Structure 1
Amino acid sequence: MALNIEVELTKAPKQKPDVSRVGFGTVFTDHMFMLDYEEGRGWHSPRVVPYQSISMDPAAKVFHYGQTVFEGLKAYRTADGRILVFRPDQNFKRLNHSNERMSIPHLDVELALEGLKKLVQTDRDWVPETEGTSLYIRPFIIATEPVLGVAASKRYIFMIIMSPVGAYYAEGIRPVKIHVESEFVRAVPGGTGSAKTAGNYAASLKAQEEAALEGYSQVLWLDGVHKKYVEEVGSMNVFFKVNGKVITPALNGSILKGITRDSMIQLLQSWGVPVEERPVSIEELYEAHRAGTLEEAFGTGTAAVISPVGELNWRGEKLIINGGETGELSAKLYETLTGIQSGKLEDKLGWMVQV
């Protein structure tokens, strides 16, 4: 698709930070991408503009009814200077799934990809060079119609902003301690759990705060009906290696369809490792641990790629996994996927898009 994307370059470039010294998502690049929507006209006016604040009416629907969706992906600089983005088409396809659930107009995937590429090209000097670093990319849509009636908005803005981020594991990949949440629930089938929308994350904060007070990094969410079946860990998909087989909760309508999750499944299958997508109860995991067959556990997501789980705490009963150390398979998956993303390993599955 040949798009006329206007580019307005900043007249006041920012000083680029030392990414090892900044927190996640606290410093932003010089430019951002914008696209407007009006009912009857559709998506229009694609443009790259200097990073700036936006002015919105206090009655904009996003403030009152939470009509918003977002995505997260990364760009990487290879040793030979190329800029690669990991599976961006999948992010925009998932964005449209979220749009469908939140009554937001679908976005043309090719248009979104062209906008992303133009923005990354414009700010390519912001992609850090140090090993393990990357440029985090946040596409999102907000409802802007200034009407308080409870109905889908007739106006929207699609934007992409970007932030350089340091290595997630600056001192090496380490397992985390997880609290199994038994009171609060994240989502139920038929709800918005499979959509990447702001309200899901706001609703998770209370449980995360309480887990942190007990010394745990994240919570393991159980299903919202029976509070029995494992769903996600924090904002990541979760996997368990039991007796040589990898098990992950099936996508049941309340679990986010993770792009890193899908990538891990493809890698495992290419290695001949058996993978099952099915309901996984918390009791099953504890029984496997007692039997000595629970070998590894890990979460997957854009930020960490893999986050090994070294301990679960369910109703006061602690479960130590693999001696609290990173498992062999978890480490192999991490090294393989980050190797592909950084251009060190061959991209046999065609995941990386050069910008």
Structure 2
Amino acid sequence: MVRKAGRKSTTQEGRGSKEGIKKQSTVRRSKCSQNDDDGTQIEQAAPKKGAGTRRRRQNTQKTETEAQGMQQALRQFTLATVEAGVDKLVKEFNDIKAATAAVPAKTAFDANPEKNRYKDVFCVDESRVILTWPPGNTCDYVHANWVPIKGEKKFICTQGPTDKTVDDFWRLVYQEKIKAIVMLCNILEMGKKKCEQYWPEKAGDKMTTSHGISIKTAEVTEPEKALIVSKLEISVEGGESFVVSHWLWQHWPDRGVPENFMACFRLLTKLKPFTPALVHCSAGIGRTGTIVGLEMAHQVLLAGERLVMADVVKELRSHRHGSVQTDIQYVYMHRVLISLAENRKIVKHEEIAPFFETYDAFVKSRGG
């Protein structure tokens, strides 16, 4: 049974000073954070008295400058997107597909056809995750690729496990000590199986793989509508034990887009402490590519750099071939960032209203 997650109250505890034979002064560091509705977070040092005040003031000024750079970059991107319009974005996506159509080396993919969910969704050699656990296992293949962000190995994109790859999936999780699994599909969609039930669904349930990996569901919560979070305890006899947070987003249609635009950023913000994170849908390129691509784009903006979504998707596809599967997903990525700009009050509604109208008509024409 899923139980709703409650809010936790926080308290601040002050500490008094004591005088004794040995005089000692301590400076406690603290951070204050400002949470916006979009789920992003700006952190800055709290002002303090005493030594280090100048340095802290400089850090605060740096943070404010970075925030201003992000806002300017997001406003520039938003206005450029509104000016381009949906039709131009669709053409741009088709150009991206043509430019990234060539398939790099995929020898491991070709050698393991029984472990691939789809014949036309490729796992390229250069960025694939090579299984080395347990030692001595002769098969090192799993349909999964590393996608770095700003040089950090933040995400692994993979297909939804099949009945023949559930064991390999958990080998991957255990080997890389995955901290979070993001599942963007349902087990069944439109009467077709999109993924295996690879984890114990109910709290208290337990399963063990053929390689001796034990997975126990300790807790199941629903922090917001259609987002199910399971706390999974992973262990191997005589080996390391750790906890994986499993996030199931239920309302993202296959080859389509969600109706909620800020849910993406709320999810990505919650995932920040979890590195590496494993993301999958059914094929591991459409919905998976969209969410990972949005994080890549967000990092460009946070750096105050000019964002060109086409460059982001090309970079993403160089690691996970075919990522961002449809033009509607590509347009949706722009729509999400425009919503972020409006949410942050970086642009006025009247500046972006024409794009919203065109976007709604576009989605409706695709059956959305």
Normalised by the length of structure 1, the TM-score is: 0.27
Between Structure 1 and Structure 2, the one with more strand by share is 1
Bigger fraction of residues in helix: 2
- Larger Rg: 1 or 2? 2
TM-score by structure 2 length? 0.26
Q: Tell me: higher relative CO, structure 1 or 2? Use CA pairs within 8 A at least 6 residues apart.
A: 2
